[in-house]
A and B are shown apart, each in its own frame.
Chain A
Amino acid sequence: MPKKTVLHTENLSIGYKNKKIASVNDFFLEESDFVAVIGINGAGKSTLLNTLTGNLPPIHGDIKINKRSLQKFSLQERAKEISIVLSKTEILTPLTVTEVIALGRQPYTNWIGKLSSLDKEIIKKSLKQLDIEFLQNSYCNQLSDGQLQKVMLARAVAQDTSLIFLDEPTAHLDLYHKIYVLKLLKDLTKKTKKTIVFASHEIDLCLQLCDKIILVKNNQVFLETPENLIKKNHLSELFPENIVKFDKNLKKFTIL
């Protein structure tokens, strides 16, 4: 059975009112895809994510979520299809882990935010899926960066969207936790059939773990499988070649 297409782009160009950043080769994302967005600093990764999540209107073309144009979604409808996790979350107030995850149910609750038994069940399930049940009554401002990241992820899972976008989910973590989080995310895509798209600088890790990679380079955005990306030499030209070089056999960057 073919996998369901969740998101696809049509003749998309991204950028701001008077400044085009890149044109996008049409691509498809299917359910349970685990997709990294890579590119050098300033290439337009954030612009792409902002456009795909609907916070920035495209300057040309269209994004379709489940075959419906993203521009036609109301804010609340969009909140049921797309959830986000930012690289750094600042919670200044005493909020418990369960309360934060419960906020993920907001698109589904009434005006006083009353949680139904279904909502409560989903909150419990997402606590379990991220293995943070033991934290459920802790206050978020007392957690480590890694734990907080998981809580925010659980919140996104509880929001029950077909797509989750993450902005550099591994930015503040050590190598062990970087790999741990990426594997967890991948696991999540297979378990929940959600599509996860994340911006990352961990190109080596992404090549090993992701199903597809979106490369932002030279005002162009295109999607490839990791194998093709290497085969077609796209990575060797990613950085200026006088300092770092991509080794095709080792599948990683080496310092010259």
Chain B
Amino acid sequence: MKVQANYFITGSITLILLFFINISLGSVHIPLKEIFKILSFQEASNATWEYIIFSYRLPKAVTAIIVGSGLAVSGLLMQTLFRNPLAGPYVLGLSSGASLGVACLLMAGSWFGSVFQTEITSSYSIILASSLGSFLVLLAVLAMAAKVKNTMAILIIGLMFASFTGAVVSILSFFSSAEKLQQYIFWSFGSLGDLNWKEVSLLSLCWAIGLILALCTLKNLNALLLGESYARSLGTKITQNKFIIILATSLLAGSITAFAGPIAFVGIAVPHLVKVVIKGSNHFILYPASIMTGSALMLICDTIAQLPGSEYTLPINAITALFGAPIVIWLLTRKKKITL
């Protein structure tokens, strides 16, 4: 109990600190005093700074929080549903679906003449293509989930979807121009900074619905820790619960992938991190802890990715894995048994 209380207190203070650090660092140096002024809606001494904070850094920080927490929660849901520590938000093939959508748009799209060219590469059409891709995969997975009773079969079906779409993307890449290929690769690096407020609010709507749906399944997730037979004997509606979990994950991971690209690693790593530190399996504790830790981790990764003081931004996808993977390996080697 005490560990948990400490975790939440230190966690929330760290989160607030990280949020301010994230906003105050970037390619343009803005004095801390000015940042506080701007955030409290006072006149800043430089209008450009105000613009940078409100139109670039603030939406980016909010996106980081949404992405980190959303992926962490969907990873948690998947790990418990599939009773598999390797499951993550993308096991259902959502990111592959999104990749396929974007690949089709960028690479196959160019075959249909240059008429649409300018339209095609705008950020909105990428979001649309990516959502459409994940949505189609989601429909396929949900249809399978309704038909196939075995939870493990769904996991394998998700992996097969990923292989299948991966193959299609490979074929598309083989036939496309270097320029288009580069564009696709840049998308697959992931990016938190390209969203305006309108897009951020749309993303946060999906995020909020996803989190609420996830909240409704927490009691059942606890029962599922004993396996499906016990869960059913405790009154859990297994199929309905599975449906809600898949829907919540798809909403969270799907919308995040659409707006920020496929962000690897956070979804698998954060639930592990949380479980190691808290040493418990009660989802009513793991859920808020995952939200907090996911947000914090994403803010750190984003702060590093933008290489404060320089004008370069590293691919966020590389940073999450580069810094996160060693941490998880370190945490897991410290204890004897891998837990779900």
Q: Residues of A with Cβ closer than 8 Å to B?
A: 53, 55, 75-76, 78-79, 82-84, 86, 89-96, 99-100, 103-104, 106-107, 109, 111-113, 141, 159
Whether, in the assembled complex, B110 has its beta carbon less than 8 Å from a beta carbon of chain A, the answer is no
A111 CA to B275 CA, complexed, in Å: 23
- CB neighbours (8 Å) of A95 from chain B are 225, 280-281
- CB neighbours (8 Å) of A104 from chain B are 234
A94 CA to B232 CA, complexed, in Å: 21
- Number of chain B residues whose Cβ lies closer than 8 Å to a Cβ of chain A: 26
Instruction: Choose one: A55, A93, A103, A113; the contact of B340 (CB below 8 Å).
Output: A93
| B230 adjacent to A93 (CB under 8 Å) | no
Whether, in the assembled complex, B337 has its beta carbon less than 8 Å from a beta carbon of chain A, the answer is yes
The CB with the most chain A CB atoms within 10 A, among B235, B236, B280, B284, is that of B235
A79 CA to B236 CA, complexed, in Å: 9
Q: Give the shortest distance, in Å, between B224 (CB) and chain A (any CB).
A: 10
Whether, in the assembled complex, B114 has its beta carbon less than 8 Å from a beta carbon of chain A, the answer is no
With A92-B340, A94-B339: A107-B234 Cβ-Cβ less than 8 Å:
yes
Instruction: Choose one: B235, B237, B280, B284; the contact of A106 (CB below 8 Å).
Output: B235
> Which parts of B270-304 form the interface with A (CB within 8 Å)?
275, 279-282, 284
With A106-B223, A159-B234: A84-B229 Cβ-Cβ less than 8 Å:
yes
Q: Mark B196-232, 1 if CB is under 8 A from A, else 0.
A: 0000000000000000000010110011011101101
A111 CA to B236 CA, complexed, in Å: 11
A106 CA to B218 CA, complexed, in Å: 12
Closest to A111 in B: B219
Whether, in the assembled complex, B233 has its beta carbon less than 8 Å from a beta carbon of chain A, the answer is yes
| A113 adjacent to B232 (CB under 8 Å) | no
A217 CA to B232 CA, complexed, in Å: 29
A96 CA to B280 CA, complexed, in Å: 8
Whether, in the assembled complex, B57 has its beta carbon less than 8 Å from a beta carbon of chain A, the answer is no
Q: Mark B70-96, 1 if CB is under 8 A from A, else 0.
A: 000000000000010000000000000
Closest to B238 in A: A75
Q: Beyond the given A93-B340, A94-B339, A106-B234, could you list 12 further A-B residue pairs with CB under 8 A, ordered by the A residue number? A: A75-B237, A79-B234, A84-B229, A89-B226, A93-B225, A95-B280, A103-B225, A106-B236, A109-B219, A112-B219, A113-B218, A141-B337
Pairs across A and B, CB under 8 Å, 10 listed: A75-B235, A75-B237, A86-B227, A94-B281, A99-B282, A103-B230, A106-B236, A107-B235, A112-B219, A113-B284
- CB neighbours (8 Å) of A94 from chain B are 275, 279-281, 339
- CB neighbours (8 Å) of A82 from chain B are 233
- CB neighbours (8 Å) of A90 from chain B are 227
Q: Residues of B with Cβ closer than 8 Å to A?
A: 83, 216, 218-219, 222-223, 225-227, 229-230, 232-237, 275, 279-282, 284, 337, 339-340
| B226 adjacent to A100 (CB under 8 Å) | yes
Instruction: Choose one: A83, A92, A93, A100; the contact of B233 (CB below 8 Å).
Output: A83
A100 CA to B280 CA, complexed, in Å: 12
| B281 adjacent to A106 (CB under 8 Å) | no
Instruction: Choose one: A55, A91, A113; the contact of B226 (CB below 8 Å).
Output: A91
Sort A-B residue pairs by CB-CB distance and give the 10 closest, nearest first: A79-B235, A93-B281, A76-B235, A106-B234, A113-B219, A84-B233, A92-B340, A107-B235, A93-B340, A75-B235
Closest to A165 in B: B233
- CB neighbours (8 Å) of B236 from chain A are 75, 106
- CB neighbours (8 Å) of A107 from chain B are 234-235
| B282 adjacent to A106 (CB under 8 Å) | no
With A90-B227, A112-B218, A112-B219: A99-B232 Cβ-Cβ less than 8 Å:
no
With A99-B281, A106-B234, A141-B337: A92-B229 Cβ-Cβ less than 8 Å:
no
Closest to A50 in B: B229
A78 CA to B230 CA, complexed, in Å: 13
- CB neighbours (8 Å) of B222 from chain A are 103, 106, 113
- CB neighbours (8 Å) of A96 from chain B are 280
| B340 adjacent to A75 (CB under 8 Å) | no
- CB neighbours (8 Å) of B230 from chain A are 84, 86, 89, 103
A109 CA to B340 CA, complexed, in Å: 25
| B339 adjacent to A92 (CB under 8 Å) | yes
- CB neighbours (8 Å) of A79 from chain B are 233-235
- CB neighbours (8 Å) of B83 from chain A are 92
Instruction: Choose one: B218, B223, B229, B339; the contact of A93 (CB below 8 Å).
Output: B339
A91 CA to B337 CA, complexed, in Å: 12
A109 CA to B226 CA, complexed, in Å: 18
| B234 adjacent to A103 (CB under 8 Å) | yes
Closest to B80 in A: A93
- CB neighbours (8 Å) of B218 from chain A are 112-113
Closest to A167 in B: B229
Closest to A96 in B: B280
The CB with the most chain B CB atoms within 10 A, among A53, A79, A83, A92, is that of A92
- CB neighbours (8 Å) of B281 from chain A are 93-95, 99
- CB neighbours (8 Å) of B340 from chain A are 92-93
A105 CA to B264 CA, complexed, in Å: 38
Q: Give the shortest distance, in Å, between B248 (CB) and chain A (any CB).
A: 15
Q: Give the shortest distance, in Å, between B106 (CB) and chain A (any CB).
A: 42
A75 CA to B231 CA, complexed, in Å: 11
| A78 adjacent to B235 (CB under 8 Å) | yes
A208 CA to B280 CA, complexed, in Å: 42
A100 CA to B223 CA, complexed, in Å: 9
Q: Give the shortest distance, in Å, between A21 (CB) and chain B (any CB).
A: 20
Instruction: Choose one: A55, A89, A92, A109; the contact of B232 (CB below 8 Å).
Output: A55
